[in-house]
Amino acid sequence: MNNSITSTSQAHHEIGHLPLSPPDSALNTPNAQHRSDYLASHGLNDTLLHKIKDDLISIALEAGRMITSADPSISPSTPKNNSSDRVTATDKAVEKKVHDRLTSLYPHFNFLGEETFTLGDKLASTPTFICDPIDGTLNFIHGVPHTAVSLALTIDKKPIVGVVHNPLRGDTFAGVKWYGAFLTTAAGVTRRLPVSPVPKPMSSLNECLVAVEWGNQRAGPNWELRTAVHKQLLTDKAEGGAMVHSVRSSGSAALDFCYVAAGWIDLFWEGGVWVWDVAAGWIILEEAGGIVVSANPGDWEPTVEGRLYLAVRGAKRAEQEGVVKELWALMGDRKFVF
Ligand code: IPD
Ligand code: CA
């Protein structure tokens, strides 16, 4: 079945109005009254929610143009926590642009951004915009075309709108709670996610393509656990591993979430990234039928600020739980500590 919704030659910058439609019965949706009461308790309504989505797309596209026109080689990066955790002038300029646009449009909403975050800052329950101006800064610095602007709105500390835009490929992923998730490509084609409307069976980890990242903490117990699990995922079953199809690292947790939402990647296991890396991808994934549980065994309901994530693509719930339990079993009694 063709899942494509529009196939026009419209310019990419005109995609603000994604064809978000009422939720279909397959989605876990409360009734309309419950939904509007919930939104009203936060000063929101359906129309405003869609305006926010359109504004986030428009701001992400503008931010994307800043990224594609920047030359990181003349804007040297500086280390944050260590030599692998870097920031450029473009990260900061994009965050300022996003902040200024959002606070002028929505002055009563909070703003939490990677480059202005201070350790100890906590997500509020009131409406909050979350911004990662460049997720995949190392890719940006090296010229690898996997970087994204990641923008989300949370209420009650849960993502409700998410937009992830990779300006180098021209992909824009967007999701709105209750209304589904969509990908618009550089060619102007918009498709509902997951890309395949009937997800493939996912009976074991052995059949999965798994996203992992390497982080920038390269010593200590978290590093030992990370690399040991990566090895076990890949190792032959005869030697106690899961023998997954393979592992992939895009260098952007936001894009990893979106690739799981699309169904291109089956799972993404990650500890140590931050709320701005995952907030937008989280709602895009959920609206595509996926789930997010903890990277650590046993926690089926992680918080968006918890820094521990296992994202699983849309599939039957029993299959999703099956691969989660298999991956957790590989960890034994080891846990990330962040
Ligand atoms: C990075 C990406 C990457 C992850 C790193 C993050 P940044 O974010 O999300 O996937 O492995 O730990 O720092 O720094 O490019 O925004
Ligand atoms: Ca970033």
Last residue in a domain, options 136, 171, 192: 192
Atom number, ligand 1, closest to the C-alpha of residue 137:
15
What are 110-130's pLDDT values in tens digits? 999 999 999 999 999 999 999
Instruction: Please tell me if the CB atom of residue 252 comes closer than 6 angstroms to any atom of ligand 1.
Output: yes
Question: Has residue 51 got a pLDDT over 50?
Answer: yes
Q: Is 273's C-beta closer than 6 angstroms to any atom of ligand 1?
A: yes
Domain co-membership, 259 together with 177: no
Q: Are residues 144 and 239 in the same domain?
A: no
DSSP letter assigned to residue 83: T
**CB of 147 sitting under 6 A from ligand 1:** no
Same-domain status, 28 and 82: yes
Tell me: pLDDT of 26 over 70.
no
Q: Are 311 and 246 in contact (CB under 8 A)?
A: no
Question: Cα(335)–Cα(333) distance, rounded to whole angstroms?
Answer: 7
Query: How many angstroms separate the alpha carbon of residue 322 from the centre of ligand 2?
Result: 32
Assigned token pair, 222: 């978290």
Same domain membership, residue 159 and residue 269: no
176 occurs within a structural domain: yes
Residue 52 forms part of a structural domain: yes
Q: Write the pLDDT tens digit of every residue in 180-191.
A: 999 999 999 999
**Tens digit of pLDDT for each residue in 252-268?**
999 999 999 999 999 99
Q: Is the pLDDT of residue 16 over 50?
A: no
199 assigned to some structural domain: no
Q: Decide if 197 is inside a domain.
A: no
CA dihedral 138, 96, 52, 130 (to 10 degrees): 50
Q: Decide: 137 in ligand 1 pocket, CB within 6 A.
A: yes
C-alpha to C-alpha distance for 317 and 152, rounded to whole angstroms: 26
Q: Does residue 135 have a known ligand-binding role?
A: yes
In the chain, % of residues over pLDDT 70: 91
DSSP, collapsed to helix, strand or coil, labels residue 276 as helix
Query: Does residue 1 sit within a domain?
Result: no
Per-residue pLDDT of 259-312, as tens digits, reads 999 999 999 999 999 999 999 999 999 999 999 999 999 999 999 999 999 999
Ligand 1 pocket residue status of 132, Cβ below 6 Å:
yes
Same domain, 315 and 231: yes
Residue at which a domain ends, from 159, 192, 225? 192
* Percent of the chain at pLDDT exceeding 90: 84
Tokens of 209: 């393509």
pLDDT greater than 90 at residue 103: yes
Is 139 near ligand 1, meaning CB less than 6 Å away? Answer: no
Ligand nearest, relative to CA of residue 273:
1
- Report how far ligand 2's centroid is from the alpha carbon of 321 (Å): 31
What is the arithmetic mean of pLDDT over 231-248?
A: 98
Clarify whether residues 174 and 235 are in a common domain.
no
User: Looking at the domain assignment, is residue 336 inside a domain?
Assistant: no
How many domains does the chain divide into?
2
pLDDT at 15 over 50: no
| Mean pLDDT of the region 227-250 | 98
**Ligand 1 atom having least distance to the Cα of 138:** 15
Quick: pLDDT tens for 122-170. 999 999 999 999 999 999 999 999 999 999 999 999 999 999 999 999 9
Domain-embedded: residue 198: no
Give the residue numbers spanning the domain of 121.
8-192
Note whether 287 and 187 are same-domain residues.
no
> What burial class does residue 66 get, using C-beta atoms within 10 Å of its C-beta: 0-12 exposed, 13-18 middle, 19+ buried?
middle
pLDDT band with cut points at 50, 70 and 90 for residue 67: very high
Of 2 and 303, the one with more pLDDT: 303
One domain, residues 147 and 179: yes
Q: How confident is the model at residue 29 (pLDDT cuts 50, 70, 90)?
A: low
Inside any domain, residue 76: yes
Instruction: Find the helix or strand (DSSP H, E) in which 132 lies.
Output: strand 128-135
CATH number of the domain at 80, please.
3.30.540.10
Q: Do 255 and 300 sit in the same domain of this protein?
A: yes
> How far apart, in Å, are the Cα atoms of 15 and each of 11, 58, 135, 188, 195?
7, 8, 22, 7, 18
For the chain, how far is it from start to end, CA to CA, in angstroms? Answer: 43
Residues 188 and 212 in one domain: no
**The pLDDT of residue 248:** 98
pLDDT of residue 129: 98
What does DSSP say about strands 267-271 and 308-312: parallel, antiparallel, or unpaired? antiparallel
Q: Give the chain's mean pLDDT.
A: 91
CATH of residue 276's domain is 3.40.190.80
Q: Are residues 62 and 168 in the same domain?
A: yes
Element (H, E) at 133: strand 128-135
Atom of ligand 1 nearest to the CA of 252: 10
Q: Give dist(CA 251, CA 144) in Å, integer.
A: 9
Residues 174 and 238 in one domain: no
Cβ of 91 below 6 Å from ligand 1: no
Lateral strand order in the sheet of 158-166: 4-7, 189-192, 180-184, 171-176, 158-166, 148-155, 128-135, 110-113
Amino acid at 20: L
Distance 31 CA to ligand 1 centre (A): 37
Regarding pTM above 0.85, the answer is yes
